Amino acid sequence: MSTRLFRGISCQKYISQSLVHSRLYTAPAHSLKRTIDEKRKESIQGGGKTKRDAQHNKGKLTARERLDLLLDKGTFREYDAFVEHQCTDFGLDAKKIAGDGVVTGHGTIHGRRVFVYSQDFTVFGGSLSRTNSLKILKVMDQAVVVGAPIIGLQDSGGARIQEGVDSLAGYSDIFQKNVLASGVVPQLSLVMGPCAGGAVYSPALTDFIFMVRDTSHMFVTGPDVVKTVTNEKVDQEVLGGAITHTRKSGVAHNAYANDIEALQRMRDFFDYLPLSNRDQVPVRVCEDPLDREDAALDTIVPTHSNVAYDMQEVISRILDKHSFFELAPEYAGNIIVGLGRLGGKTVGVVANQPLVSSGALDIDASVKAARFIRFCDAFNVPLVTLVDVPGFMPGTAQEHGGIIRHGAKLLYAYCEATVPKLTVITRKAYGGAYIVMSSKHLRGDYNVAWPSAEIAVMGASGAVEVIFRNHHDKPKMEAEYQEKFATPLSAARRGYLDDIIQPRTTRARLIEQLDLLKTKSIQNPWKKHGTIPL
């Protein structure tokens, strides 16, 4: 055998050593497999039985149990199950658990791809480490590349204090990815435990936030800090519980009784969404006749314009049966937003609610609707607007609170939107609010009114007070104004309405127009981005 040297040793000796090394490597293969299996088991068990039991005793599921319920059975493919933190400070180097407190990967919901991460509170309280953040960033990157939504299940004590600025850097990177993914793929957050400090801004940057009543909380500063700084005593639930954020702050869109209900409703909601901004809305089998007429709509609007009615009933009678998924139902109730289906296709619904403040637009309603409209526009979801609005809410509270600026957000959102825009005026459409609510003047594609519509600068009584202030027969002037100006005919004569339709035919008309507009193509002037009045 040749004795030619290779790296300073003979070939014969090299081959002999290689054989030995090979045997040394293959001999403990079963040991390596045991190590891999043990690490995988460690990752699956999280913080151990005691901590899992503590999670259950709080009425909460573990990170993996949540993913099992959220995703289609057997579809979850995990990433980075063996990842461990790299921190050596404060004795953490001796406390390493595979997975490091977050479970990441992809799966399907109703057969459609989705990327997920689920924070594991049983491991270091679900706190965010640098390696933990890298796991989350990886699935976010993959979601954007593939074109699939991201769902984050939040249950974390916040930044891992022992890692200092590294954990803060982790949050920063996640925030940046949230912004880059915004408008590219849908981002959904389900807050299922604590979410405090800087951690709240990742959910806040996503498109929709769901919470679990009694067990989930969101706040920038906790009760102890609030007491120290402001001397105000407040508990977690009042400060940042689900009721607070779905009724008062408007931070969260919906809240549910427990983990199981929240996960099921997330599955339901996911089914309405396109997978990315390059996809069209999903189409589902529609068993509700496309040309169905509903005679009840002909009489649903009261004869007297000051009598309220429930716009929810109008929505349910127009959309495919049982298809409306309302968002933020307990916040800014004077406007309704949500996703539904018409002829099996997802549409976004924006509607004034006469039962609350007569459907007038105020600060909260304007912001609520504007954000929803911009989501729909980003993801090719057609907009259906049902209008019964007496105007913007008057008063010093609204003016001093910036109703001009906030109302302009709603105006901006409708003006900017390039998706199909269908508008039905059911009754009042007065003043600036008429313009703002997806009027023909804002590039509306199909604008119609019911015979009960009243389209004018203001109501008859207010107009007569201005025009005929000293007239002896104001009731006569009001009737004359009503007949001449506050009818849909005046707007239709000028082409500001495409038609005046019988209410019972609304569903069929909208479905027909949606089909017609499926090839709509319109672009705004090129720009880096607009300057919406935030």
- Tell me the per-residue pLDDT of 75-112, one tens digit each, with 9 for 90 and over: 999 998 888 766 656 556 546 787 788 999 999 999 99
Q: What is the pLDDT of residues 198-242, one digit of tens each?
A: 889 999 999 999 999 999 999 998 898 899 999 999 999 999 999
Q: How far apart are CA 362 and CA 515, in angstroms?
A: 34
The predicted structure's pLDDT at residue 125 = 85
pLDDT of 15 above 60? no
Of 105, 197, 338, 359, the catalytic one is: 197
In a domain, 388, yes or no: yes
What is the pTM (predicted TM-score) of this model? Answer: 0.91
Of 198, 222, 333, 344, the catalytic one is: 198
Helices (H), 112-155: 130-146
Contact (Cβ atoms closer than 8 angstroms) between residue 193 and residue 216: yes
Q: What is the DSSP string of 386-397?
A: EEEE--BPPSHH
Same domain for 166 and 84: yes
What is the domain count for the chain?
2
Same domain for 306 and 160: no
Q: What is the pLDDT of residues 452-506, one digit of tens each?
A: 999 988 877 777 777 777 676 777 777 777 777 778 998 999 999 999 999 999 9
- Residue 432 is a catalytic residue: yes
Q: What is the DSSP string of 295-359?
A: GGGGG-S-SSTTS---HHHHHHHHSSTT--EEESTTSSTTEEEEEEEETTEEEEEEEE-TTTGGG
Of 63, 196, 199, 433, the catalytic one is: 433
The predicted structure's pLDDT at residue 90 = 59
Same domain for 435 and 353: yes
For residue 110, what is the domain's CATH number? 3.90.226.10
Same domain for 147 and 242: yes
Q: What is the pLDDT of residues 231-285, one digit of tens each?
A: 999 999 999 999 999 999 999 999 999 999 999 999 999 999 999 999 999 999 9
* Residue ranges making up the domain that contains 247: 33-270
Token readout for 226 is 């609030």
Of 147, 344, 431, 432, the catalytic one is: 432
The predicted structure's pLDDT at residue 64 = 94
Q: Mean of the per-residue pLDDT values for the chain?
A: 90
Same domain for 369 and 240: no
Same domain for 259 and 312: no
- Residue 198 is a catalytic residue: yes
